[in-house]
Amino acid sequence: MPPRIRAAGAPVKVVGGSASLPLARALARELSIPLADVSFEKHPGGFPDGERYVRLQDAVAGEHVVLVQTTHPDPMLVEYFLLADAIRDAGASRLTAIIPYFGYGRQDKRFAEGEAVSAKTLAKHIALDADELLTMTIHNPDVLGLFPIRAREVSGVPAIGRYLKSAGVDLVLAPDDGAIRLAKEASAIAGTPYDYLDKERLDSYTVRVTPKELRVKGKVVAIVDDMISTGGTIATAAKELKAQGATRVIASCVHGLFVGRAEENLKVCDEVVATDTIVSAHTKVTVAPEFARAVRELAR
């Protein structure tokens, strides 16, 4: 077991938000440090309107606190801010924000007059209490430049790659050219070749895939993407692979949102695999080792 880490002489403790408790527990085990007890019970005043309530049950004064909380769905974003503020008020000497899935990170520029740049808004408010940010496999790494604090992307692809290696995959496929970097990274870990499909997005719900001769007949193929939302892109790619003779298609992603008709769309796949950045029925791997490595580097 590795020794407990300490940052600038201060002990380190993990605090997990309710959206990311399994990952927070796994991270604490990886780092051999305590997981703080947090209460998420209803407000003592008995408010019936669904407002979030948090209470730190353990002392964190003078400590380096690692707060783990995915900011999806929206109430979890409010919960993150409540936890960060409570940690600072309790006297923590340093706060490292781990936001495994960075909600509102996709709007990183103003496309029309009067729009809010949601990624910039979130970055500004997260920086009020956090000293640094670690997030995972974001759609556009340029978003990190919007933070007024040190912000770093941690790759969640190694966790997917390890799983695909154990699953006996023959080919790793990106559903479009934007995911090539992910497919390349996963294939290197899985020990397989990689390729990609040509995709054109027609609207928020519809995509067109241009067929390519991928020589997938009789092979197990894994599609790797940063996130699966409605599953439309993955389903279209899986149908094309099955049409070309693939015997098994595995859909894999770092962030499994699975909204709308995702479950229905993904029935064409033989298996769906996601990490614990967002907990779902398809969460089969943890990214705790990747975040643990990043936290150790911060503590040096």
Contact predicate 277/285, CB 8 Å: no
Q: Number of helices (H) and strands (E), helices first, in the chain?
A: 8, 16
Q: 180 with 108, same domain?
A: no
- The domain total for the chain is 2
Structural domain of 265:
157-276
User: From CA 235, how far away is CA 228, in angstroms rounded?
Assistant: 10
Q: What are phi and psi of 169, to 5 degrees?
A: -70, 140
The helix or strand, by DSSP H or E, that contains position 120, with its residue range, turns out to be: helix 118-126
Measured between alpha carbons, how far is residue 128 from residues 3, 81, 131, 259, 277 in Å? Answer: 31, 9, 8, 31, 23
- Which of the following is catalytic: 120, 199, 219, 284? 199
Order of strands across the sheet that contains 94-99? 6-7, 10-16, 64-68, 94-99, 132-136, 150-154
User: From CA 212, how far away is CA 86, in angstroms rounded?
Assistant: 53
Instruction: Look at residue 56 and tell me if it is in a domain.
Output: yes
Q: How is residue 16 annotated by DSSP?
A: E
Instruction: Look at residue 94 and tell me if it is in a domain.
Output: yes
Q: 148 with 163, same domain?
A: no
User: From CA 1, how far away is CA 235, in angstroms rounded?
Assistant: 42
User: From CA 194, how far away is CA 188, in angstroms rounded?
Assistant: 9
Q: 98 with 173, same domain?
A: no
User: From CA 137, how far away is CA 146, in angstroms rounded?
Assistant: 16
Q: 201 with 186, same domain?
A: yes
pLDDT of residue 2: 46
- Could you confirm whether 212 is annotated as catalytic? no
Q: 49 with 133, same domain?
A: yes
Cα angle value 101/201/230 (rounded, 5°): 45
Instruction: Look at residue 282 and tell me if it is in a domain.
Output: no
Mean pLDDT of 235-242: 91
- Computed over every residue of the chain, the mean pLDDT equals 90
Pull the structure tokens for residue 156.
Answer: 């969640």
Instruction: Look at residue 82 and tell me if it is in a domain.
Output: yes
CATH code for position 187: 3.40.50.2020
Q: Which residue has the higher pLDDT, 153 or 209?
A: 153
Q: 80 with 38, same domain?
A: yes
pLDDT of residue 4: 56
Q: 195 with 75, same domain?
A: no
pLDDT of residue 213: 66
Instruction: Look at residue 281 and tell me if it is in a domain.
Output: no
pLDDT of residue 3: 47
Instruction: Look at residue 1 and tell me if it is in a domain.
Output: no
Mean pLDDT of 229-248: 92
Q: 70 with 178, same domain?
A: no
Instruction: Look at residue 234 and tell me if it is in a domain.
Output: yes
Q: 212 with 74, same domain?
A: no
Is it the case that residue 189 has pLDDT exceeding 80?
yes
Is it the case that residue 217 has pLDDT exceeding 60?
yes
Q: 89 with 175, same domain?
A: no
Q: 34 with 83, same domain?
A: yes
pLDDT-based confidence at 46, cuts 50/70/90?
low
Q: 78 with 146, same domain?
A: yes
Q: Which residue has the higher pLDDT, 166 or 49?
A: 166
Instruction: Look at residue 186 and tell me if it is in a domain.
Output: yes
